[in-house]
């Protein structure tokens, strides 16, 4: 039961953000100077950026977590045309943070390949 409560809470979302921060810190020294940052519609790399920009992913996750935790924003998002319950809202936020984490993993994988 505790696992279900953990997954349905914001702690799970913050854990995903923490994994992104930790991954960025650990992998930073192993990345090449330029890493791929943009892909065209066929999946080919069409833009490179400095490796310091790998920290943009955890920053974006942190901003999402900060904004979705604000009472007014949370109220607006939970009481729209289709009202959400607390676990549903947390799953949406966790899913968005996890998607950003997966994008970060893909960029790291391609940069190191």
pLDDT digits (tens, 9 = 90+) for 65-86: 999 888 888 888 778 777 888 8
Domain housing 107 = 54-113
69 φ/ψ angles, rounded to the nearest 5 degrees: -90, -10
The model's pTM: 0.87
Q: Is residue 2 part of a domain?
A: no
Q: Is residue 87 part of a domain?
A: yes
pLDDT digits (tens, 9 = 90+) for 20-48: 999 999 999 999 999 999 889 998 999 99
Q: Is residue 106 part of a domain?
A: yes
Domain count, the chain: 1
CB 28 within 8 A of CB 20: no
């Amino acid at each position: 039961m505790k696992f279900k409560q953990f997954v349905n809470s914001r702690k799970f979302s913050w854990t995903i953000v923490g994994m992104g921060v930790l991954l960025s810190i650990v992998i930073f020294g192993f990345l090449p100077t330029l890493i791929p940052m943009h892909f065209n519609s066929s999946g080919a790399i069409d833009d490179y950026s400095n490796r310091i920009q790998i920290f943009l992913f955890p920053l974006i996750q942190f901003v999402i977590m900060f904004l979705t935790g604000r009472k007014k924003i949370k109220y607006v998002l939970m009481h729209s045309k289709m009202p959400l319950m607390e676990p549903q809202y947390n799953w949406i936020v966790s899913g968005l943070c996890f998607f950003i984490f997966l994008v970060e993993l893909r960029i790291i994988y391609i940069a190191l390949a």
